[in-house]
Structure 1
Amino acid sequence: MTKNKSSGNVSKNDLGEDIKDISEKRLFSDLGQLVLLVVFAIIWSLDSFLFHFSNFLAKYIPLYVRLPIAIIPILFGLILAYLGFKQVFQEERDSPEVITKGVFGLIRHPTYLGAILIYVGWILTTLSLISLGMLVIIILFYNYIATHEEKVMVKQFGEEYETYKQGVPKWIPGSKYIQQKRD
């Protein structure tokens, strides 16, 4: 939603264009996530169980060591994603607002970070290096869509979202606090 600079009012044309833009980007985002998940799952499965191109490290680290380690990011990822979805889709609001409490008070994109952590856990189970390369692409994609979503949020909520961005890290909980301590 955009405000008319001269009058401060939102025009129907601006609103329609924004909704169309958001819908198209959301489709790209959702479809992109699905495609990357399928490609990752295929690559990970083929490398881990059929061809064994790049999981040679698994010979040196037994599964009973890898599995408990892999469960940690998977569980954290599931919790982050669940809490993020719950806050966005289950909490009732009278009107759209910047969500600054709960998991969104720790990081700006908990569902995306949750998904990334789940991928990390998958990789740790078999130590597939090809899948690790795919993870880099996935992280770049999530960063791209998160950055775009933040531009939309700034456009919609203005200074309120800018203030939120300054106080809450994009990806790593506590990183803003560490940066402030160094400064």
Structure 2
Amino acid sequence: MITLSTIIYFAWFLSEILLQRILRGKATDDKKQQDKGSLAVMWIVIIVFINIASIVAAKTNYPIVPGPLMNRIGLSVILLGMILRFVAIMQLGRLFTVNVTIRKDHHIKKTGLYSILRHPSYTGSLLSFLGFGLSVNNWLGLVIAFVPVFVVFVYRMNIEEKVLTAQFGEEYTTYMKHTSRLIPWIY
């Protein structure tokens, strides 16, 4: 029997696979990819820890809230994260790539979500991982699903911000002073 959880998890995973396939920077048009292997590291961490979190949640009993409510809240947070991620990608347009690359005629996006957050796409993605952790309704599963992924995203943001600072200098450092990384006005 296919459940709502299965459908949402599948849609989330499929959307990320499609982004990986469709939105890669092309080496012919862009400056050298400066990823430093962070995309591969991200995928390894995500796959490993989502699977561990699923197993731990199935084999242990540390409910966040008894009953099905937390699963529904978690699924809603996944969907909210997906929507935020897609809006951020649409607002960045052709400048968005899944690998760290400076595109031809690249500029710093400072409007829309990017007027508040430097990495709204990552905010959306991290919301989805938080939602997944909540949806398994297990404190230990939540920590396992979210914390390692958050750490690897911070690693990736550090790489991106160094590349953007090297490319745009003071313009980017000024932009960093006026925006938050992931959470508006907090972080």
| Length-normalised TM-score, structure 2 | 0.70
The 3 A distance-change label for structure 1 pair 171 and 89 is: same
Structure 2 residue 123 is the aligned partner of structure 1 residue 113 = yes
From the two aligned structures, give the one with the greater helix fraction: 1
Question: Unmatched 5+ residue regions in structure 1?
Answer: 1-18, 177-183
40-49 or 162-171, which deviates more: 40-49
**1:95 to partner: Cα distance:** 1.2
Tell me the distance in 1 between the aligned counterparts of 2:91 and 2:135: 30
Secondary structure of the structure 2 residue equivalent to 1:122: helix
Measured after TM superposition, the shift of residue 40 of structure 1 is 2.2
Partner of 1:101: 111
Equivalent residue for 1:7? none
Q: Identity rate of aligned residues, in percent?
A: 28
Q: CA RMSD for the aligned pairs? A: 2.6
* Residue 57 in structure 1 maps to residue 98 in structure 2: no
- Cα 1:145–1:91 change in 2 (3 A) is closer
Residues 1-183 of structure 1 aligned to structure 2 (within 5 Å):
19-20=31-32, 22-25=33-36, 28-49=37-58, 52-53=59-60, 55-57=61-63, 61-63=66-68, 65-90=69-94, 95-128=105-138, 129-175=140-186
* Larger Rg, first or second structure (1 or 2): 1
Query: TM-score by structure 1 length?
Result: 0.71
Q: Distance in 2 between matches of 1:106 and 1:145?
A: 19
Q: What number of residue pairs does the alignment pair up?
A: 151
Provide the C-alpha distance between the structure 2 equivalents of 1:23 and 1:70, rounded to a whole number of angstroms: 34
* 4+ runs deviating over 2 angstroms: 87-94
Query: 1:47-80: per-residue Cα shift (whole Å, max 9, x none)?
Result: 233xx13x4316x5101x1133213421221122
Structure 2, unmatched stretches of 5+, are 1-30, 97-102
- Name 2:22's counterpart in structure 1: none
**CA shift in 2, pair 1:104/1:81, >3 Å:** same
Q: Deviations over 1:131-174 (max 9, x none)?
A: 41342121111111101211111110111111110111011113
Deviations 1:15-44 (A, max 9, x none): xxxx55x4342xx12212211221123112
Contact 1:48–1:126 under 8 Å retained in 2: yes
Say whether the 8 Å CA contact 1:81–1:115 is kept in structure 2. Answer: yes
